[in-house]
Structures are given as C-alpha cells and as structure tokens.
Amino acid sequence: MTAATGYAPRHTLPLRVEFVRQFRRRRTMVMFGLLMALPWVLVVAFQFGPGNNNQNSLRLSDLATAGGLNFAAFALSVSASFLLVVAVALFCGDTVASEASWSSLRYLLAAPVPRDRLLRQKLVVSLSYSAAAVTVVPVMALLAGTVAFGWNDIRVPGTGEIIPAADVLPKFAVVIGYAMVSNLVVAATAFLLSVSTDSPLGAVGGAVGLVIVSSILQAVEALGSLREFLPTFWNTAWLDALAPVPEYDGMINGVAVALTYAAILIAFAFRRFRRKDVVS
Amino acid sequence: MQCGRFLPEICDIYQEIAETGRATTEAVDLLRRSSPVSVPGRIRVPTLIIQGQRDSLFPLSHADANARAIAATGAPVQIAWINGGHDGGDNEQDYVFDRTTAWFDRWLKETGTTQGQTFTVSRDGGRDPGTRRNTIVHAEGGTYSGITGTEETKVTLSGPDQTVANPPGGSPAAFSSIPGFGSLLGGNNSAGLGAALDLPGQSAAFESDPLPRRVHLTGSPTARIRVYGDGEVTLFAKLYDATSDQLAVLPANLAAPLRVKATPAGTPVTIALPAVDRQIDAGRRLRLVLATTDLAYATPAAPAVFRVGLASGELTVPTAPGLVAPSTGPAWWTWAMPLAALVLATALLLAGRARRTATTPDPALAETPLQITGLTKRYRNGEKAVDDLSFTVHKGQVLGLLGPNGAGKTTTMRMLMGLIHPDAGEIRIFGDRVTPGAPVLSRLGSFVEGPGFLPHLSGQDNLELYWRATGRPPEDAHLAEALEIAGLGDAVHRAVRTYSQGMRQRLAIAQAMLGLPDLLVLDEPTNGLDPPQIAEMRKVLRAYAAKDRTVIVSSHLLGEVEQVCSHVVVMHRGRLVSDGPVAELLSRGHLNGSTRLEDVFLDLIGEQT
C-alpha cells in the first residue's frame, strides 16, 4: 500500500471544488458585480448625460444609442482595452499567488495534489472565470441596451449601413470569442507570474503592465511590421467582424499571435512550477 | 519672374494667359506641340502611368487620355492612381519607387517577374490597428476601367432652377483648392477629406435623396444642366459627398471648369465632373454645385446674372466593381507561429518531465513510517541548511525534532512534504521515496510553518474543501473528530480571517489530522496556545500515537519534547547531533552530572553553561 485508501491523483482538486474556493472570494464577486453594473451605468450616462444631437455621426460612441446591438458593441469596445484586461489578469494572476500568500498552497501540494494537476485545474478554472468576465459585459450590455434603446438592427460605424439584427447575432458570438482569445496573452502572462511570485498583486500588475507597454510600443510606427507581433496589436480587430463586408484576416492574425504567446508562457509556467521549491 | 524648370517660351505664354484669362491660338499650339497629343500612335513602348488623385493641375483625365492613346498602339499600359498629387495627400514614394523599379526590371532589364496589375487605385485602408492612423490600400483590377467606369449607377438629383450671379471683378470667389497647396480650409489629409466653400448667390445646388446603399464612385460622373441667360458664363462644377448637418466633402477638392454660351431658352450642357475615386456611404447625399467663381481661376470681371437648372435629374456615377483591394491573406507566420509555439511548449513540458527519476518502493521499509538518508539541502548562497541528515522513525513513536532556531528542522519538514527538492539524499515514507506530489504523501498529515487557510471561508468550509481537494471519500475524513480537536465551538462557522492566532493554529492541526494519517508531522504545534490548551494538545498527541500511528513534533522548547516525546532527534546547524529515546538521552546527561534535558542539549550542541 503506497497511498492512503481512496486516494487517486486524478481525483484531487476537482474543478467544482476550485470553482467554489475562488467564487466565494470578495474580489471575484466585486469584479463580476462591476462588470455587470457597467452597461447599466453607461445606459444611465447616455440617458441623462448632456445630449449629443449629432444624429448623423457615424462614430461608434455616437451610434451606441441606436439599439441594443450597437450599445453592446460600444460597451465591448470601451471595456476591452482595459477593464477586461484587468479582470482577466486578476482571475489568472491571483490564482496561484494568493494560495502562496495564504500558505494554503503547501497544504494542497502535501495533500498531495500533484503539481501539474494543481496547475491544470487552476488554469481551467481561472480561464473559465476570465471567459465569463469577457462574456458578461457584452451580454449584459445587450440586455441593458435592448431595454433602454430597443431591439434594432445594427448601424455600422463609419459607413452607417444597416445590418439586420438576426444576421449580426452570430457575428456577435464571433466577436466575444475573439475577445476571449485575444485576452489569452494577458491570462498566460498573469498565470506565469502567478506561479513565480507570492504576491497576487504583483502578478496582476505585471500582466496589466505588459499590456500597457505593448500598447505604447504599438504606437511607434518606426517598428514597422514588427508591431504585428505585439500581443495587443490585433486587439481591436474584432471591429472588422461587424463591418458590412466582414474581414477576418486581422482576427486570424490576432488569434495566431495570442495562441503563440499563450502556449509558450503557459508551458513555462508549468515547467517553472514543477521545479520550484515552494517556500511560502 | 521665376520660371523654374519651365522653358522660357512656356513661361512667357503662361504669364500672358494669366493676365488675360484667355489662351491665344499660339499658346494653344505651343502647348499642343509639347503634349503627347502631338504624336498620336507613335508612343509604342510599354508605359506605366502614375497619376495623383489630388491634383488640380494634372487631373486623372490627362492620364486617361495618355493611357488610351498609347494603348491604341498595342503597347502594354498600366495605370496607377496614387493618393497624392500636386494638391497634397500622400505621394506614396515607396510604392511609386517599387512600381517603377518593377516596371523597368520587367521591360528594360527583362528580369523582373512581378508585374503590377493593369489598373491600381490607392484607397483609404482604414486605420492601422496599432497607431490608429489612416493607411492606404491598393485596389487592383485586371482591366483599366478608365474615367467612365465599367458600370454606371444613376442617382436622381433634384432642385429648382436657381439664379447665380457673377460678382463684379469675380470677387469674392468660391473656394475649392489652390493648386500645389490643396484645401486651405484644413482637412488636407491622405483620405482626401478637404473642405470647400461656396458663396450664396453665386452657386446653384442640386441634391439627391440619401443613398439607399453604398456607391463606390470611380471615374468622372456626368450630369446634364441648362443655363439660361445671355452671353458667355464661366461655371465651376463640383460634386459633393454631403449629409444634412456635417460639412460636405468635396472629393480631392476638385472642380471642373466650363464655359457656356447661355441663351434665354436655356443651353443644354453635359458636364463631366472631375474624375475621382471615392466611396459614398449609405445615407449620404450627392450634391451637384455650379458656382460662378473659383479662387484658383481667373473669371470674367463683368457682373452678370444667369439661371441654372437641371436638364435631366439624372446623375451618372461611373463605378468599377472589378477594382478590389487584394485581401492580403494571412501571412505565412499566421499558421507557422502557433504551430511552432505548440511544438516548443510541448518540448518545454516534456523536457521538464524527463528529470523525474523512476523510484521503486523499498518493500523492506513498508512498515517504517520514515527513513531519512544522507539528506542535504543548500541555501542559494551555498550554505548548508541540512547537512547529511539520516535517521529513522518507527511506528508508534512520538519523535521530537529538537534544535535551536535555524537548525534545519523546518527545511527538513518541507522536504518531507515534497515542497522543496533535496540536493542529495532521500526521504522514504513507508518505503516510498518522497518526490513532489508522491501518492504516499496522502498518508502524511502535516502542519508546518503556520496555518494556511482561505481567509474568506469559515473554518468548517476550509476543512471540508481541503478534504474534497484530496479527492478521497468524505467518510474517511473523520471531520467531526478533527473539529473536536480544534475545539473552536461556534466559531467554526465564522470566516477564518476573524480568528485569533491560537484558533488558526488549532484548526491547522485539526486539518493535519483529517483522515487520521499514519504519519503526522507538526512544526511547533504548541506555539500560540495557552497552558490548558498545551496540556490538552499533549494528551491528543500521545493518544494519536498510541493507535500504532506515528507523530513527529519539532520544537525548540526542551520541556515540550521531554513531556510529549518518546524519542528525540537533536539537530544543530543542519546536522544530526543525537538520536535515540528521550530516556537514553537523559541518562547520557546523567553521566555529566545533570538530568536536566536543557543541560544535556547544550552539552550536545557544544555550548557549555
């Protein structure tokens, strides 16, 4: 008998347990509360803010009140660049580092939850929370926008063409999926930092910092086509999917870049965690 | 006068025409002789014509005339409408250089294989995703559609007849662009969104309804008007891309000048508007404006009044749907990079796995809770935290791991839990070698270096979730017994963050006892407990070991070890100093004349009282 009766490595740290452990945390609740409240705050801002009478403007922000779908696209565009990045960095950067800072990590490892399995389960759970965060904003915005501005066909920013709502819904799913994938880089960076440090805020801040540095670099045109390999370069490519003639090249490039970074960073996270001396 | 690169005779006739506003026959002849039009059918070489879209001096219609004349001889011709021109915009130097070099390579060097498309038009490519600045794309077509387009869209214009006046002296003048400068009203960007200005009373406007769908205008639109009045009138025709509230856009800031002999019955005129390439979005209107003045031109000085109306409401808009910006398609790296990353990631993971050495359990030790052999661990600075440590623990023992702070007790326990990798030596629990995550660790309960709980959960939830994390059956947990040992009462339902140090400590010991492990390792278990609790804890530990289980307790308190333990291992500076039953240790002390463990201990570690 080498192990205690009933012990099997593949049964350790079930996903359900990890979901519960993370869900009851205040920062999880606050983050989701914030993400769900944001569209309603925007609705109120559009309703009571000083009116913009520029009815014929074709900017995304001016078209936001044209209907639920337009509003959802607007809400996603304003939250994707920073709020969702922070949410994803929080869920993925906090996951291992906070266990280390609470010292509960060593008891999980001594339970024993094998290191690869611990990391895998944590990765699945934090990516699920990240995906939920990315989904909740546009879906809630769709709901809030429909309640406030009605269920109208989408008016395309820039050209002003009308696309029937039913045609746009599947594209909307593509947009949400793309937003998830493009945030994989942030998730993977935060995750790697999370296994490397005992400070949850360090891991979250590090990942957000990377996004900031990357956004600064992508504004430097002298870098030429090198910028295409920056992790944030293709983040707004999802706007192409809502054009009257949808273009997917930018999104495909974005997915390629995101998957590349994510695969390597996550591999490094596993490798590092396997060899690490857990001293926290 | 500055004549620049112009021939003096050209310069002279320019001055003459500029003064009078009318070309003399000699001037026209001279210009004609200087133009390709003078050698019809004699340009038979392959020709690449690059013409700027924003150019009021040499508009696209000139390039069109050349292209048609040369193509008529059978010579290959390619036409590129680039973004810039004399009036501004982006002159696309790199693109022009590449096109010309490729053209020369093809026809002179006869090496080049890449040849551009017959017809290329530079268009607004939207914004660069990184810089949010405008980019240019090159729409290409296999055939040259000319300025009349390959297809036509009819747009209906409407508006009443309007009176237009030519102001005395031709001033003030309407404004479209200044050759060589472009629009003076700003907006001189590469997208060609310049503003223009018409003066009331001097211009007639006819407008379409909002376009139901997008129209891409490529070429020279035509419209038919009538001009009523008496005598010759100079008119400037412009076609705006307009909406009701925003400033209307005059594509490329171009106006088409024309002279009309007006008659009271109305002279019908077909106007060819400037050739441009522009996408007119759905919901926009097309506005035809006819003005009597334009700042860039000399106009008649005599005041006069005319009436302008539509001869037909139809505006013919040429389009070239064959022109499409090539979808650059995903670059090779789009597929290669993620695949390479996956290979690299797999390699990284497999390489990490290879370090694991297969360990075979030692059946002879299957009943020995713990055997440590030659265990060594260095700090990062090379100093040894644990140095060649070896000892064995047998069933039923309560072993005290004794040593001053920094003796290596905690480091040993961490290695015991598989948290840190030893540099040398091995640890076997029930014959199995301890590695990170080794299954045999499930028979070990541990409390090392303080409790570790999720502060937002209650004590009970912490223990329950911890047990569920082990994946073992709930009935094996013996949760009730553990909670009894913790003795937290109702506090067990409160969040752990509200607990005192002692409560956390007791809860952590209870967690270590979950599932009643065969080997229990406790690091300084009585720290932070009050005397009655310490006494209680001693009882618990003795009772625990009595059931054929084994307990290891580390402490730097001698009295603690003396009262609880049956055996003791003394460590100092990472090394084993003594190993044996407590009684034996005390008897060794007896030889030195003292039965106090403290004296024995100090003696052992080499510090005399």
Q: Give every strand in the sheet of B398-402, ordered side by side.
A: B444-447, B519-523, B550-555, B398-402, B567-572, B575-581
Q: Is the pLDDT of residue B292 over 80?
A: yes
The more confident residue out of B84 and A268 is: A268
Taking a C-beta distance cutoff of 8 angstroms, is the pair B373, B426 a contact?
A: yes
pLDDT band, residue B268 (cuts 50/70/90): very high
Q: Which one of A161, A253, A261 has the shortest CB-CB distance to B214? A: A161
Query: At how many degrees (to 10) do helices A68-80 and A83-102 cross?
Result: 50
Q: Which residues contact A219 (CB under 8 A, 6 or more apart)?
A: B130, B131
pLDDT attached to residue B489: 87
Measuring CA to CA, which residue among B524, B565, B520 is closest to residue B542?
B565
pLDDT band, residue A80 (cuts 50/70/90): confident
Q: Which one of B341, B444, B446 has the shortest CB-CB distance to A263? A: B341
Of A121-125, B7-11, B44-48, B58-62, give the range with the top mean pLDDT: A121-125
pLDDT attached to residue B119: 92
Q: Which residue of A has its CA nearest to B456?
A: A25
Residues in chain A within 8 Å Cβ distance of B449:
103, 106
Q: Do the Cβ atoms of B244 and A56 come within 8 Å?
A: yes
CB atoms within 10 A of CB A32: 16
Query: At how many degrees (to 10) do helices A15-23 and A115-149 cross?
Result: 60
A129 vs A113: CA distance, rounded Å: 22
Tell me which of B371-380, B540-549, B597-606 is least confident. B597-606
Domain range annotation of chain A: 13-45+56-274
Q: What is the DSSP letter of B107?
A: I
Q: Is the pLDDT of residue A75 over 70?
A: yes
Tell me which of B163-167, B327-331, B558-562 is least confident. B327-331
B75 vs B87: CA distance, rounded Å: 31
Dihedral of the CA atoms B315, B316, B322, B325 (nearest 10)? -30
Q: Do the Cβ atoms of B337 and A260 come within 8 Å?
A: yes
pLDDT attached to residue B270: 94
Q: Is the pLDDT of residue B20 over 90?
A: no
pLDDT attached to residue A183: 94
pLDDT attached to residue A192: 96
Tell me which of B152-156, B346-350, B488-492, B559-563 is least confident. B559-563
Q: Which residue of A has its CA nearest to B466?
A: A108
pLDDT band, residue A247 (cuts 50/70/90): confident
pLDDT attached to residue B376: 94
Q: Do the Cβ atoms of A278 and B414 come within 8 Å?
A: yes
pLDDT attached to residue B609: 44
pLDDT attached to residue B135: 79
One DSSP character per residue, B176-203 reads S-BTTTB-TTS---TT-----B--TTSE
Residues in chain B within 8 Å Cβ distance of A241:
none
Q: What is the mean pLDDT of residues B470-488?
A: 90
pLDDT band, residue B6 (cuts 50/70/90): confident
Q: What mean pLDDT, rounded, does chain B reach?
A: 86
**Mutation choice for A interface testing from B457, B472, B519 by most A CBs within 10 A:** B472
pLDDT attached to residue B190: 41
pLDDT attached to residue B416: 93
B392 vs A116: CA distance, rounded Å: 31
Q: Is the pLDDT of residue B191 over 50?
A: no
B484 touches chain A (CB under 8 A): no
Q: What is the mean pLDDT of residues B440-460?
A: 93
Chain B (354-373) residues lying within 8 Å, Cβ to Cβ, of chain A: 355, 361, 366
Place of tokens 């891309």: B241
pLDDT band, residue B2 (cuts 50/70/90): confident
**Mutation choice for A interface testing from B442, B466, B497, B504 by most A CBs within 10 A:** B442
pLDDT attached to residue B466: 95
Chain B: closest CA distance from residue A182 (Å): 13
Tokens of B233: 């009138």
Task: Tell me the domains of chain B and their CATH numbers.
Answer: 8-141 (no CATH), 151-319 (2.60.120.260), 363-604 (3.40.50.300)
Helices and strands (DSSP H and E) totals, chain A: 10, 2
Q: Do the Cβ atoms of B348 and A274 come within 8 Å?
A: no
Residues B575-591 have pLDDT tens digits of 998 888 988 877 775 55
The rounded percent of chain A whose pLDDT value lies above 90 is: 58
Q: Do the Cβ atoms of B281 and A159 come within 8 Å?
A: yes
Chain A: closest CA distance from residue B497 (Å): 11
Q: Do the Cβ atoms of B337 and A256 come within 8 Å?
A: yes
B129 touches chain A (CB under 8 A): yes
**Mutation choice for A interface testing from B244, B468, B493 by most A CBs within 10 A:** B468
Residues in chain A within 8 Å Cβ distance of B327:
247, 249
Chain B (495-524) residues lying within 8 Å, Cβ to Cβ, of chain A: 511, 515, 517-518
pLDDT attached to residue B192: 43
> What is the count of residue pairs from A and B with beta carbons less than 8 Å apart?
221
The more confident residue out of A116 and B20 is: A116
Whether the link from the prior residue into B369 is cis, omega within 30° of 0, is: no
pLDDT band, residue B283 (cuts 50/70/90): confident
Q: Is the pLDDT of residue B189 over 50?
A: no
ipTM of the assembly?
0.91
Residues in chain B within 8 Å Cβ distance of A25:
454, 456
B412 vs B33: CA distance, rounded Å: 101
Of B114-118, B141-145, B359-363, B368-372, give the range with the top mean pLDDT: B368-372
Residues in chain A within 8 Å Cβ distance of B455:
102
Q: Do the Cβ atoms of B348 and A271 come within 8 Å?
A: yes
Residues B548-573 have pLDDT tens digits of 899 999 988 777 788 889 999 989 88
Place of tokens 């359990």: B361
Q: What mean pLDDT, rounded, does chain A reach?
A: 88
Q: What is the mean pLDDT of residues A69-94?
A: 91
The rounded percent of chain A whose pLDDT value lies above 70 is: 93
Q: Do the Cβ atoms of A256 and B470 come within 8 Å?
A: no
- 3-class SS of residue B286: strand
Q: Do the Cβ atoms of A264 and B452 come within 8 Å?
A: no
Q: What is the mean pLDDT of residues B301-328?
A: 88
Q: Which one of B331, B442, B511 has the shortest CB-CB distance to A3? A: B442
CA–chain centroid gap for B216, Å, is: 32
**Mutation choice for B interface testing from A7, A26, A185, A215 by most B CBs within 10 A:** A7
Q: Do the Cβ atoms of B419 and A106 come within 8 Å?
A: yes
Q: Which residue of B has its CA nearest to A276?
A: B420
B83 vs B93: CA distance, rounded Å: 10
Q: Is the pLDDT of residue B354 over 70?
A: no
Residues in chain A within 8 Å Cβ distance of B329:
249
The more confident residue out of B196 and B222 is: B222
B421 touches chain A (CB under 8 A): yes
Q: Which one of B131, B281, B470 has the shortest CB-CB distance to A160? A: B281
pLDDT band, residue A97 (cuts 50/70/90): very high
Q: Is the pLDDT of residue B26 over 80?
A: yes
pLDDT attached to residue A165: 82
Beta strand pairing call for B519-523 and B444-447: parallel
- Distance from the first to the final alpha carbon of chain B: 112
Residues A157-186 have pLDDT tens digits of 766 667 788 888 888 899 999 999 999 999
Residues in chain A within 8 Å Cβ distance of B331:
253
Of A220-229, B141-150, B345-354, give the range with the top mean pLDDT: B141-150
pLDDT attached to residue B188: 43
pLDDT band, residue A96 (cuts 50/70/90): very high
Q: Do the Cβ atoms of B330 and A230 come within 8 Å?
A: no
Q: Do the Cβ atoms of B453 and A104 come within 8 Å?
A: yes
Measuring CA to CA, which residue among A122, A92, A74 is closest to residue A28?
A92
B278 vs B258: CA distance, rounded Å: 23
Dihedral of alpha carbons A118, A124, A129, A134, sign? positive
